[in-house]
Amino acid sequence: MKVENENAREFYMQEAVKSGWSTRQLERQINTFFYERLLSSKNKEKVVAEIQTSEAAKTPEDIIRDPYVLEFLGLNPNDDFYESDLEQALITHLQKFLLELGRGFSFVARQKRITFDGRHFWIDLVFYNYILKCFVLIDLKVGDLTHQDLGQMQMYVHYYERELMNEGDNPPIGIVLCADKSESVVRFTLPENETQIFASKYKLYLPSEEELLQELRREYQALEDGKIDETGDTKLE
């Protein structure tokens, strides 16, 4: 393989076996720096430990990524587009989006309607993850993340948990996929130790290798400076 880093090479080999990747899928994950992006959002020791075992990830934090790279959509970040345009592009390229989401995802519904007290609400995308054994709800936001977005997702997740879970399911999780987010908004909106609601950024283009290295250096420097605690949350100054 063309991957020179021994840890990265072993990671891709294990993931290809676990996920049944085709050659084209494996090449895309290598070309989009999947291993490096995983390192930037999780601690290195945990990633290395994971690739040395055949056990699948068991918690939402092990599967949910931040950011998601959606360069396959062909959308220009400088163009004006609506959430419906983003949603349609994801549906059009559903196979590639499933690959970007990671292992165990299957598509369930688009614009899933839920109704109570005579009011209708629509969840942009619904998936099921057979590894976590739970529904995964995704809401798309083309702008900055707000506390209202997180509150709305909490409502969706609670509704699914109380009304639509099947026997044997684990509690559903919700992902607000947004163009940008404030970590402080996430921290002060969601309860401490939140395990069901997540906010992830999406990128419409693949960062250059230099941009990716800069981001990794920033993450490692923050760790060294004590700005990120052991759970991965950014500490306030």
Residue 62 has pLDDT above 70, yes or no: no
Residue 42 has pLDDT above 60, yes or no: no
How does pLDDT run across 119-139, given as a tens digit for each residue?
999 999 999 988 889 999 999
Residue 226 has pLDDT above 60, yes or no: no
Verdict on whether the full-model pTM lies above 0.75: no
Cβ 73 vs Cβ 204: under 8 Å? yes
* Count of C-beta atoms within a 10 Å radius of residue 185: 16
Residue 55 has pLDDT above 70, yes or no: no
pLDDT at residue 169, as a whole number: 93
pLDDT at residue 157, as a whole number: 95
Higher per-residue confidence, 91 vs 213: 91
pLDDT at residue 2, as a whole number: 76
Query: Exposed (0-12), middle (13-18) or buried (19+): which is 34, by Cβ within 10 Å?
Result: buried
Alpha helices per DSSP H over the chain: 6-19, 23-31, 34-41, 44-51, 60-63, 83-92, 94-101, 147-159, 183-189, 209-225
Domains of the chain: 6-225 (3.40.1350.10)
Region 200-222: what's the mean pLDDT?
Answer: 67
pLDDT at residue 106, as a whole number: 87
Residue 228 has pLDDT above 50, yes or no: no
pLDDT at residue 211, as a whole number: 65
Residue 56 has pLDDT above 60, yes or no: no
How does pLDDT run across 140-189, given as a tens digit for each residue?
888 889 999 999 999 999 999 999 998 899 999 999 988 888 889 998 99
Please, what is the end-to-end C-alpha distance for the chain in angstroms? 44
Higher per-residue confidence, 37 vs 99: 99
